[in-house]
Amino acid sequence: MTVSTTLPLVASLRETDPDLAALIDAEGRRQSESIRLIASENYVSQAVLEATGTLLTNKYSEGYAGKRYYEGQQFIDEIETLAVERAKALFGVDHANVQPYSGSPANLAVYLAFLQPGDKVMGMALPMGGHLTHGWGVSATGKWFTSVQYGVRKEDGRVDLDEVRDLALAERPKLIFCGGTAIPRTIEFAGFAEIAAEVDAVLVADIAHIAGLVAGGAHPSPVGHAGVISTTTHKTLRGPRGAMLMSDEEHAKKLDRAVFPGLQGGPHNHTTAAIAVALKEAATADFKAYAHRIVANAKALAEAMADRGFDLVSGGTDNHLILADLTNRAIGGKPAAQALDRAGIELNYNTVPYDPRKPFDPSGIRLGTSSITTRGLTEEHMPQIAAWMDEVITAEGDGDSSVASRVRNEIREFVAPFPIPGYSD
């Protein structure tokens, strides 16, 4: 295997563990030579990569800035404070906690902050586009709390706020989640806020997928509507694998206590530093333009897919995410996703609303445009991507696996002029 000479973060690793270094290089090559359409992924900048790989990983820092349980925190406190202040400024919030390890622990901290076991929580059902941690049955949040699930209209794949209000009035949840993991349309934060106020519930806006779009002004903000905001940092925000909780002043102390000491010990300081870098990048005019390009690319790709007969849930997209129901293509989402992966197009199989198939073999595929937009692809490239998807899925349905190999070679050549941060052949 040829090993790249342009991966500075693994220079010593090659000597210590060449097997692992070769695998990392292979992953870099795979990411570089594919069209990556997984909606929850992105390419971080070289600066974010470097911050993630620093000696900050050596330091243990239980507690918060100025209130630690270990000594030697002089610079760690400054790093965490920098990340917190940048989050507050970027999103316009009163309070930010940058310590959650990932999105699911962040959401679990919200439960710990405001609910007792058995209390009622309301969220979008997972098959309708919600997240596991919004009270779905197989999650701890569905096992430890009483879950009330809302969905979308069958005819158009959109949330009906009148139905949500009726359900909330009947069930009186203490916590309401809006947002999710497969929602291609604008989240109506103001409408959810009115419902939450009417039933005296805490409204939590989970913006894990759209945080970068919110920061860049390409999606409305939940600030001023939701008392609590949860997000990951690695999707459209283009940061490291981590999470944040943000809130108004009223909910700040309970959230902080829930994260530490409620759920976690010491934060991952190298991740905190990388979050700080990503937040600085997200405050620039370039990032704002990037966020709008993500949406423009998604709309162009959705239109090109629709022109080729793809059945898009809700008819299209308002953000970075597209959800397609392949029922009319006579192929399941899983074999379609696997065929596309062999062809160099990476996305995930996904349930669609009212899906008659099982979750591990669903009817749909989910895709997003954050990663390809980071690479520099534009609206003019989207019809070609849709054409390749159409060709590969059609061939797979006909039992022809040879098409995927040919398309993979075409894609490798297609993406070559668009290098990714942190890797070069």
Q: Residues 33, 206, 281, 325: which is the catalytic one?
A: 206
Residue tagged active-site, from 133, 232, 271, 374? 232
Per domain, the residue ranges of the chain are 51-282, 292-415
Q: What is the pTM of this model?
A: 0.95
Candidates 50, 59, 60, 327; catalytic one: 60
70 classed as catalytic: no
Cβ within 8 Å of residue 324, ≥6 positions away = 305, 310, 311, 312, 313, 352, 364, 365, 366, 367
Tell me, yes or no, if 150 is annotated catalytic.
no
Closest by Cα among 328, 321, 318, 301 to 384:
301
* Residue 241 annotated as catalytic: yes
Please pick, among 50, 62, 379, 390, the residue that the annotation labels catalytic.
Answer: 62
- 235 flagged as catalytic: yes
Beta strands, E only, 291-377: 311-312, 321-325, 345-346, 348-350, 364-368
Instruction: Give SS3 for 233.
Output: coil
pLDDT value for 8: 52
pLDDT tens digit sequence for 125-155: 999 999 999 999 999 999 999 999 999 999 9
206 is known as an active-site residue: yes
Q: Peptide bond before 261: cis, by omega within 30 degrees of 0?
A: yes
Model confidence over 388-417: pLDDT tens digits? 999 999 999 888 889 999 999 999 999 999
Q: What is the pLDDT of residue 2?
A: 44
The CATH class given to the 292-415 domain equals alpha beta
33 belongs to the catalytic site: no
CATH topology of domain 51-282: Aspartate Aminotransferase; domain 2 (3.40.640)
3-state secondary structure of 122: strand
Q: Indicate which residue of 241, 280, 308, 412 is catalytic.
A: 241
Q: What is the mean pLDDT of each run of 10 residues along the chain (425 residues)?
A: 47 90 94 97 97 96 97 98 98 98 97 98 96 94 96 96 98 98 98 98 98 98 98 98 98 98 97 98 98 98 98 98 96 97 98 95 97 98 98 92 94 97 84
CA atoms of 142 and 147, how far apart (whole Å)? 6
In the set 36, 86, 185, 235, the catalytic residue is 235
Phi, psi (deg, nearest 5) at residue 3:
-100, 130
